């Protein structure tokens, strides 16, 4: 969260730069832990982290936000570009299978993204915007990418 705050403040000074924030969450993660155990859940989280890491540019910033949620900060990236990346990661994760104790585990993720706009006054609002989009993805059936709009 500290890195998002720092980058947001930097972006406020250089308003010509477009940047986007993605919040994503492993769908039904509690069910994975309850069905296969916490060690299996840890393997799923590590698999997601690796997919995200391999999908990013060297200038992008990603991290685990808490539990099964991740935040991805894409500097100099429009909402359209962020949507393309989120969709690519979503598809890759939905095609991934983690094997734990000879049991295959399939899982999906939901994504919400928000481009920094002049209407977003601080990093907390930016995170809340991406989070609203994420929860819209979850409410609409999960395994989706949703872009933030003021109508959400």
Indicate which residues carry an active-site annotation. 68
What is the spatial distance between Cα 21 and Cα 61, in angstroms, rounded to a whole number? 10
CA triplet 114, 119, 123: central angle to 5 degrees? 60
**What are the residues facing 72 on neighbouring strands?**
22, 62
Structural contact between residues 116 and 11, judged by C-beta atoms closer than 8 angstroms: yes
């Amino acid at each position: 969260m500290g890195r998002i705050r720092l980058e947001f403040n930097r972006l406020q000074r250089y308003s010509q730069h477009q940047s986007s924030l993605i919040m994503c969450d492993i769908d039904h993660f509690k069910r994975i832990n309850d069905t296969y155990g916490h060690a299996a859940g840890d393997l799923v989280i590590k698999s997601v982290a690796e997919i995200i890491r391999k999908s990013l540019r060297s200038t992008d910033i990603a991290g685990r936000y808490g539990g099964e949620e991740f935040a991805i900060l894409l500097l100099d990236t429009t909402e359209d570009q962020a949507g393309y990346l989120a969709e690519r990661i979503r598809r890759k994760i939905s095609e991934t299978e983690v094997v734990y104790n000879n049991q295959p585990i399939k899982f999906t993720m939901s994504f919400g993204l928000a481009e920094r706009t002049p209407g977003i006054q601080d990093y907390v609002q930016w995170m809340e915007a991406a989070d609203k989009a994420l929860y819209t993805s979850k409410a609409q059936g999960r395994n989706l990418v949703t872009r933030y709009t003021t109508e959400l």
